[in-house]
């Protein structure tokens, strides 16, 4: 069995399908398409979701759907900020994507766009000379030397100063004209040279790239690419991007207000729960991920997977956490060539779940500072949480209580409750501790 979920590979022509769209998010994708297509504004939208919730998979299918499976195709550019954050200039990174779009269309506009983009780059690069010199020389040209240069300038005769100021005024005028021409040209491409009259720029993984690159991207979008006919869809974990804002400007900044300057509408991926649907998206993801990890291999301890499934349905961990839980399951599964009995498998699944959701609780169990009551409260398996007599979690709660109880309580449970103890070890060592010890020195890199 694999230890990790293989990354989903989508070819350029693959879009929403029953096999790929396991959460049935196509309707949400259709709503998003209509929102953009029917809007007359140059919007900046943000799709906010936790890491591991399937944002990138959804957005790649949505991008392909827009290109290949719409009655009116929506010109969609996909840009992975994380893969591109090695670049120093966000403007050039974004402009290159537009340039490639024009090249694909074999339009005569390509050379003209290149010239206009080059002029814009020159305008704002002038303002970065002082910073650029210092960075480019690894600090060898320091503030002292630069201040000396400024002092030399102050000693110039008035005619020379007048000439410099006049040149600056002319440069500023040319800069404004270059920016105006670039934005008008970009808008013309979107409005008059695409089938829908729009270009959608998808910026994925904005929260995972370098904080400075992410924030510079936002500034470029606002000041250089915000034109009629161009819509931006930023894909991110909002909380993480807010941390990037604080990383640059300090904890004193209101990061929520800062991001509101750039983003018009916040969206989030829908997640079905049993209250709204017969199937929970977390269980769907668990089942699909397990199939991909198991592949053709034989899995002996499927009872442990059933316990994990029940806990996922009950507590709804993130998709990323589900992947990690399955990794711990695979580590135990791969270390043996036989199946545990039912009791062992239920505890195995529970320990794998807790190893991700509350590893400190497992440490406390080993140190004698946590009881079955603590575990049941964390897993919300107390009587007030479990009403149905047929709920499999009621039996799991009983197994957990038995395994972590003192001998007197064990005897009570054996006398009054139906519990299968076949294969349960004699003595004071419990099953919980056996599995905790097995995983105690394993730290998978996700």
What tens digit of pLDDT does each residue of 388-429 get? 666 789 889 999 999 998 888 888 888 877 777 776 776 656
Please give the DSSP secondary-structure letter assigned to residue 395. Answer: H
pLDDT at 57: 87
Q: What is the CATH number of domain 26-123+184-268?
A: 3.40.50.300
The pLDDT mean for the chain works out to: 83
Task: Name the packing angle between helices 158-192 and 90-104 (round to 10°).
Answer: 40
Annotate 108-141 with DSSP letters as a single string.
THHHHHHHHHHHHHHHHHHTTHHHHHHHHTTTSS
Q: What percent of the chain has pLDDT over 90?
A: 39
How much is the pLDDT for 9?
A: 73
CB atoms within 10 A of CB 208: 19
Tokens coding 238: 């909002």
Euclidean distance between CA atoms 420 and 425, whole angstroms:
13
Domains of the chain by residue range? 26-123+184-268, 281-439
Predicted confidence at residue 315, as pLDDT, reads 93
Contact yes or no for 213/90 (Cβ under 8 A): yes
**Tokens encoding 444:** 């998978």
- Token readout for 426 is 């004699």
Phi-psi region of 295 (alpha: psi -120 to 50; beta: other; left: phi over 0): left
Point out which residues pair with 233 in neighbouring strands: 45, 202
Which residue, among 427, 373, 383, has the nearest Cα to 404 in the 3D structure?
A: 373
Over residues 289-306, the mean pLDDT reads 84
In this structure, the strands spanning 230-236 and 265-268 are unpaired
Helix ranges, 261-318 (H) = 281-294, 302-315
State the residue for tokens 């440490």: 363
Residue 131: band (very low, low, confident or very high) from pLDDT cuts 50, 70, 90: very low
Region label for 115, one of left (φ > 0), alpha (ψ between -120 and 50) or beta (otherwise): alpha
Summarised one tens digit per residue, pLDDT across range 177-229 is: 888 898 999 999 999 988 889 999 999 999 888 989 999 999 999 988 999 99
The total number of residues shown for the chain amounts to 446
> Residue 68 — pLDDT band, cuts 50, 70, 90?
confident
């Amino acid at each position: 069995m694999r230890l990790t979920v293989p990354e989903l590979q989508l070819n350029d022509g693959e879009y929403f399908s029953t096999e790929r769209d396991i959460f049935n998010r196509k309707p949400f994708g259709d709503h998003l398409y209509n929102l953009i297509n029917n809007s007359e504004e140059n919007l900046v939208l943000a799709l906010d979701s936790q890491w591991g919730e399937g944002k990138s998979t959804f957005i790649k299918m949505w991008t392909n759907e827009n290109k290949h499976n719409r009655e009116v195709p929506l010109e969609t550019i996909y840009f992975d900020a994380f893969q591109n954050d090695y670049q120093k200039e966000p403007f050039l990174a974004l402009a290159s994507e537009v340039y490639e779009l024009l090249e694909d269309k074999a339009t005569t506009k390509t050379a003209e766009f290149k010239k206009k983009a080059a002029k814009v780059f020159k305008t704002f690069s002038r303002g970065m000379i002082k910073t650029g010199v210092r960075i480019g020389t690894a600090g060898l040209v320091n503030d002292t030397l630069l201040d000396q240069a400024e002092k030399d300038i102050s000693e110039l005769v008035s005619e020379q100063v007048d000439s410099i100021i006049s040149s600056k005024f002319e440069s500023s005028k040319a800069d404004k004209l270059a920016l105006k021409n670039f934005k008008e040209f970009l808008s013309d491409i979107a409005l008059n040279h695409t089938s829908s009259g729009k270009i959608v720029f998808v910026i994925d993984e904005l929260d995972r790239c370098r904080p400075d690159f992410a924030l510079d991207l936002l500034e470029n979008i606002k000041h250089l690419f915000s034109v009629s006919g161009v819509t931006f869809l930023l894909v991110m974990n909002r909380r993480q991007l807010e941390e990037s804002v604080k990383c640059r400007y300090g904890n004193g900044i209101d990061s929520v207000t800062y991001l509101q300057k750039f983003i018009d509408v916040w969206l989030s991926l829908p997640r079905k729960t049993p209250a709204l649907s017969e199937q929970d998206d977390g269980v769907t993801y668990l089942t699909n991920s397990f199939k991909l990890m198991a592949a053709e291999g034989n899995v002996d301890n499927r009872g442990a997977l059933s316990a994990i499934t029940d806990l996922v349905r009950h507590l709804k961990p993130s998709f990323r956490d589900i992947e990690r839980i399955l990794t711990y399951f695979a580590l135990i599964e791969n270390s043996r060539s036989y199946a545990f009995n039912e009791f062992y498998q239920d505890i195995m699944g529970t320990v794998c779940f807790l190893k991700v959701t509350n590893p400190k609780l497992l440490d406390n169990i080993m140190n004698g500072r946590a009881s079955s009551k603590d575990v049941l409260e964390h897993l919300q398996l107390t009587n007030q949480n479990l009403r149905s007599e047929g709920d499999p979690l009621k039996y799991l709660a009983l197994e957990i209580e038995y395994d972590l109880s003192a001998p007197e309580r064990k005897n009570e449970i054996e006398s009054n409750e139906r519990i299968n103890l076949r294969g349960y070890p004699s003595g004071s060592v419990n099953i919980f501790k056996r599995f905790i010890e097995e995983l105690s020195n394993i730290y998978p890199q996700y």
